[in-house]
Amino acid sequence: MGPMFKLISQRIALGILLLLAVSILIFAGTEMLPGDLAESILGQSATPEALANIRAELGLNDPAFIRYFQWLGGLLQGDLGTALSNGQDIGPQIGKRLGNTLFLAATAAVIAVPLAIFLGLVAVRYRNRWPDKLISGATLASISLPEFFIGYVLIYFFAVKWRVFPSVATVYDSMSFLEKLNAIALPVIVLTLVVLAHMMRMTRAAILNVMQSAYIETAELKGLSAFKVIARHAFPNSISPIVNVVTINLAYLVVGVVVVEVIFVYPGMGQYLVDHVSKRDVPVVQACGLIFATVYVVLNLIADIVAILSNPRLRHPK
């Protein structure tokens, strides 16, 4: 077994163990929520007999560890449980919402990732000159502002004053692709501004670190232009940290969209989670939390694997 395959296997096994630990924390966290779940469903005026019946129906009389393993067993079979608020299966409801969230995150990623890498290359090419200072200053300003503030500012100008984009990002199946893009324009801009700054600054830092290498000086002595030196020699050798920061920010696009979806009333996972937290719908909260955690762990696992594959010492061991 080669060292690269061994490391990848260890990362995958660690990811599975981490998901198991996260599932325990999510279940324990919802179990420790204050209040009586049966009473919150039926109301404070419920009779003791009705409360006893619903506790038996929901399995609340069983020990916590038994309920956890029953929940975990259902998850392994693809059963996310039943929503307490409407009695429907959680899986189909989450599936549509997750599709909307992934559409929003993918649209922002398609814009943010190439733009961040391009701006990072430009900043390195004109290091310590006005393009570098302008890009660094603008990205630092965007990363310093919270998402809700950027969202409300964009709504005020683009939706209220100029009426360019809608303030409410409503999408449904009968809309065309262009209509959906127009509807999600403002939340996409917010997400792009939030993740663009971090990716650009990390790209710039990674390339500048490689630019100190001896082979970069050799390429410069050969007469190659500064941009060719950066694009052909520095950038490929700094791809590992860049991929890491890109995947981490992609995970944020999926997991951290809760605030943005609530601001723009977007029918995604974040809005779905917030709606059911207010209803104290514990199975929905558990399912959403586990899905968010799975996306985050999987994307970080991909980043680790790419970093391993990009290491020439592991690809070509002595």
User: Structural domain boundaries of the chain?
Assistant: 3-76, 91-315
- 263-314 pLDDT tens trace: 999 999 988 998 888 777 888 999 999 999 998 899 888 888 887 777 666 5
The answer to whether the CB of 199 falls within 8 A of the CB of 249 is yes
Burial level of 124, CB count in 10 A (0-12/13-18/19+)? buried
* pLDDT(158) > 60: yes
Distance CA 237, CA 213 (A): 10
- 201-211 pLDDT tens trace: 888 888 888 88
pTM of the model: 0.86
The answer to whether the CB of 267 falls within 8 A of the CB of 97 is yes
Distance CA 33, CA 131 (A): 51
Stretch 83-93: mean pLDDT: 84
For residue 268, the model assigns a pLDDT of 92
CA dist list (Å): 205 to 124, 198, 235, 242, 280: 9, 11, 11, 9, 44
pLDDT band at 212 (very low <50, low <70, confident <90, very high): confident
Residue 239's closest CA among 316, 309, 139, 143?
309
* pLDDT(236) > 90: no
For residue 208, the model assigns a pLDDT of 86
For residue 36, the model assigns a pLDDT of 64
* Residue of 176 and 224 predicted with greater confidence: 176
- 13-62 pLDDT tens trace: 999 999 999 999 999 988 887 766 677 677 667 778 877 887 787 777 78
Average pLDDT, the chain: 85
* pLDDT(104) > 90: yes
- Show Cβ contacts of residue 194 under 8 Å, excluding neighbours closer than 6 positions: 142, 143, 147, 150, 252
For residue 261, the model assigns a pLDDT of 92
Stretch 190-203: mean pLDDT: 88
Give the least confident one: 86-100, 123-137, 219-233, 253-267. Answer: 219-233
Give the least confident one: 8-22, 60-74, 175-189. Answer: 60-74
Alpha helix (H) ranges present in the chain?
Answer: 3-31, 37-42, 48-58, 64-76, 90-125, 130-144, 147-154, 177-183, 185-210, 214-221, 226-228, 235-237, 239-255, 258-263, 269-278, 282-309, 312-315
The superfamily CATH assigns to domain 91-315 is MetI-like (1.10.3720.10)
pLDDT band at 1 (very low <50, low <70, confident <90, very high): low
CA dist list (Å): 263 to 44, 141, 288: 32, 21, 19
Q: Tell me the residue length of the chain.
A: 318
Residue percentage of the chain with pLDDT more than 90:
34
For residue 19, the model assigns a pLDDT of 93
For residue 191, the model assigns a pLDDT of 92
